[in-house]
């Protein structure tokens, strides 16, 4: 029988910061295993607040978050942190070891992997992002785009259930942007990508969620949402001048 447990299930998630500011007002959505989904929304919509709930960095609100059926909460925190890999916007927040190899090995080693198994895990993660030849380099000797790929590898090395990326295309030149898109498309993992780069969402994610003022305002095929001018205007989303989402073929789902 096929396992139909979603990779991610968020139900009735509401959250207020300690100063009383309510950032999420009952967020509901579910992502199936292997889907690639973009999380769109204007500044201040609650995207970061939502993402920080996915691996329990933020807790204390109401509602539930489940990752592959496991409820996010204090009880399962180590397992949740392994299953939810977050790639933050600035790779330098994630790379702190003397070499690329050590950075990628850090998580799996902390989880108890060692010897040839650990080395294989590191090699596999670096190969998936096309950075195997940079294994012995200090991360700070790499370009920004290369550091972002290594940051993705540090997360992939944990073999996560879901890969969450915060603005993966920011600060990348067009070639690096395309190369990262090819890498993300090739991965056999559930992807949730927070982005203001709407063409990138269209290129990579067959489905998008629009989060606006702490609620999911729309959930559907990316091309359809981006072509709905009224919806876009209502949630302060703007396509680059002259960009026609109808002229771009829909992102293919899993290969």
Ligand X SMILES: Nc1ncnc2c1ncn2[C@@H]1O[C@H](COP(=O)(O)OP(=O)(O)OP(=O)(O)O)[C@@H](O)[C@H]1O
Q: Which residue, 17 or 243, has its beta carbon nearer to ligand X?
A: 17
Alpha helices of the chain — where are they, by DSSP H?
47-54, 77-83, 100-110, 115-128, 144-156, 174-186, 198-204, 222-227, 229-234
Q: Are strands 8-16 and 22-31 parallel, antiparallel or unpaired?
A: antiparallel
Q: Are strands 162-166 and 190-194 parallel, antiparallel or unpaired?
A: parallel
Stretch that binds ligand X, among 13-21, 80-88, 110-118, 221-229 (CB under 6 A): 13-21
CA geometry: angle 81, 84, 88, nearest 5 deg: 95
Interface with ligand X, residue 84, by CB under 6 A: no
Q: Which residue, 44 or 73, has its beta carbon nearer to ligand X?
A: 44
Interface with ligand X, residue 170, by CB under 6 A: no
Interface with ligand X, residue 21, by CB under 6 A: yes
What span, in angstroms and rounded, lies between the C-alpha atoms of 90 and 140?
Answer: 13
Q: Which of 1, 4, 43, 240 binds ligand X (CB under 6 A)?
A: 43
Interface with ligand X, residue 47, by CB under 6 A: yes
Q: 10 Å Cβ neighbour count for 191?
A: 21
Q: Which of 25, 26, 32, 48 binds ligand X (CB under 6 A)?
A: 48
Stretch that binds ligand X, among 40-48, 140-148, 185-193, 224-232 (CB under 6 A): 40-48
Q: Which of 10, 13, 23, 87 binds ligand X (CB under 6 A)?
A: 23
Cβ pair 7, 162 in contact under 8 A? yes
Q: Which of 10, 45, 54, 150 binds ligand X (CB under 6 A)?
A: 45
Which residues contribute to the site for ligand X (CB under 6 A)?
A: 17, 19, 21, 23, 41, 43-49
């Amino acid at each position: 029988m096929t396992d139909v447990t979603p990779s991610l299930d968020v139900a009735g998630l509401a959250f207020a910061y300690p100063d009383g500011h309510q950032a999420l007002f009952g967020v509901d959505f579910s992502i199936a295993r292997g889907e690639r989904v973009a999380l769109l929304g204007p500044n201040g919509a609650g995207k970061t607040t939502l993402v920080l709930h996915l691996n329990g960095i933020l807790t204390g609100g109401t509602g539930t978050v489940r990752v592959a059926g496991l409820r996010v909460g204090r009880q399962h925190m180590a397992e949740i942190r392994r299953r939810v890999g977050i790639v933050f916007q600035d790779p330098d927040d994630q790379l702190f070891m003397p070499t690329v190899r050590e950075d990628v090995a850090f998580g799996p080693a902390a989880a108890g992997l060692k010897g040839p198994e650990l080395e294989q895990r590191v090699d596999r993660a670096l190969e998936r992002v096309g950075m195997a030849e940079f294994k012995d380099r200090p991360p700070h000797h790499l370009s920004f785009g290369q550091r972002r790929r290594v940051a993705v590898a540090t997360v992939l090395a944990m073999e996560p259930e879901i890969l969450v990326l915060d603005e993966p295309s920011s600060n990348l030149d067009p070639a690096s942007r395309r190369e990262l898109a090819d890498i993300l498309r090739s991965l056999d993992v559930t992807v949730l990508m927070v982005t203001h780069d709407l063409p990138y969402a269209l290129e990579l994610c067959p489905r998008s969620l629009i989060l606006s003022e702490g609620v999911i305002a729309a959930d559907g095929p990316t091309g359809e949402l981006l072509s709905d001018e009224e919806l876009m205007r209502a949630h302060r989303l703007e396509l680059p001048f002259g960009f026609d989402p109808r002229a771009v073929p829909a992102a293919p789902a899993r290969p």
